[in-house]
Amino acid sequence: MTTTSGQSLGGAKGDVGFTAGVPGASEREPPAAAARARRPRHHWVVRVTHWVNFVALGLMVTTGLRIFNAFPAFARKGESFCCYPFAGKPIPNVLTFGGWLAGARNYHFAAMWLLFVNGLVYVTFIYLHGEWRDLVPRRGDVRDSWEMVKFYLFARPEHPHQGKHNALQKSAYFAMPIFGALAVVTGIAIWKPVQLAPLTNLLGGYVWARYWHFLVMLCLVVLTVVHVIMVFAVDPYSIRSMITGGYNEAKSPEARNARPFFWRRPMRAAPRSDGGIDT
């Protein structure tokens, strides 16, 4: 059956009976669009390694601080060190884990291997799966990062266009595995300073290797804290994507013009002119 304008209402057998303007009719999505809608924002390997990394890093930091408290200074007894003004002042116990030095060392080394293997799985996967393309620095990232800073400081009215991550996020996510590798290298240098003397000496000796390890830990903590704050302050809807993989692009920071703690909520779904519902 056809209308006077020639539009098909019934269609051939097996076709969806759809005509624009017919109340209650629904449009079949193109296969490519439907596949994109079903594709998770983060692969399950990325999601699992993300949460394993969160636990391993937390154990590494808290047990490392407990180990540090056994001798809360970098200079040897009777010597001075230029770059740590809090020598002799232990880290508050509430920030440490492990109970005592030997217990903290056992947890620390266990977490080290977990972090190392987990990081190896993550880096190998994003390389083989091609997700490294979303993180690797590109020409123009410095300019795009500056545009994001201007937007966050209200010097730019509209959110810069971004892909999966904005330029500032890309820089932070690209830096995390590098700092993780540095933590491992500096850690084994102070773990086996005699057996790995060339590496320890390359880092400036045992005292300086210990200090570089401490600074790398601080960088990882700062990156992690800023990451968590920005998730809740700018894009809390992304938490679901790191658990189930699902993400609604209509709720992205770009769509909501979102700044830290200053953004509009996504609009409720409204009926479309063809009778469907936007989701």
Q: What is the CATH number of the domain that holds 157?
A: 1.20.950.20
**pLDDT, position 38:** 53
Give the closest residue to 213 by CA, choosing from 247, 179, 236. 179
Answer yes or no: is 10 within a domain: no
Average pLDDT, rounded, for the chain: 83
Instruction: Kindly report the number of other CB atoms within 10 A of residue 65's CB atom.
Output: 22
Residue 174 and residue 170: Cα distance in Å, rounded? Answer: 6
Task: Quote the domain boundaries for residue 66.
Answer: 39-256
Residue 112 and residue 119: Cα distance in Å, rounded? Answer: 10
Q: Is residue 126 packed enough to be buried (19+ CB in 10 Å), middle (13-18) or exposed (0-12)? A: buried
For residues 20-30, give the mean pLDDT.
Answer: 43
Contacts of 162 (CB under 8 A, 6+ apart): 144, 253, 254
For residues 34-47, give the mean pLDDT.
Answer: 73
Give the closest residue to 259 by CA, choosing from 146, 143, 148. 148
**pLDDT, position 105:** 93
For residues 232-251, give the mean pLDDT.
Answer: 91
Answer yes or no: is 267 within a domain: no
Answer yes or no: is 184 within a domain: yes
Token pair belonging to 237: 């809807």
Residue 117 and residue 49: Cα distance in Å, rounded? Answer: 10
pLDDT(76) > 70: yes
**pLDDT, position 135:** 84
Answer yes or no: is 270 within a domain: no
**pLDDT, position 40:** 81
Answer yes or no: is 94 within a domain: yes
For residues 100-106, give the mean pLDDT.
Answer: 92
For residues 237-254, give the mean pLDDT.
Answer: 90
For residues 177-187, give the mean pLDDT.
Answer: 92
SS3 call for 97: coil
- Residue 72, CB half-sphere, CA atoms under 13 Å: how many? 13
pLDDT(37) > 60: no
For residues 30-35, give the mean pLDDT.
Answer: 46
- Amino acid in position 175: A
For residues 22-39, give the mean pLDDT.
Answer: 46
Token pair belonging to 274: 């063809």
Answer yes or no: is 210 within a domain: yes
Answer yes or no: is 55 within a domain: yes
The residue among 36 and 166 whose pLDDT is bigger is: 166
**pLDDT, position 33:** 44
Instruction: Kindly report the number of other CB atoms within 10 A of residue 14's CB atom.
Output: 5
Q: Is 12:18 a contact under the CB 8 Å cutoff?
A: no
Q: How many domains does the chain have?
A: 1
Residue 13 and residue 143: Cα distance in Å, rounded? Answer: 55
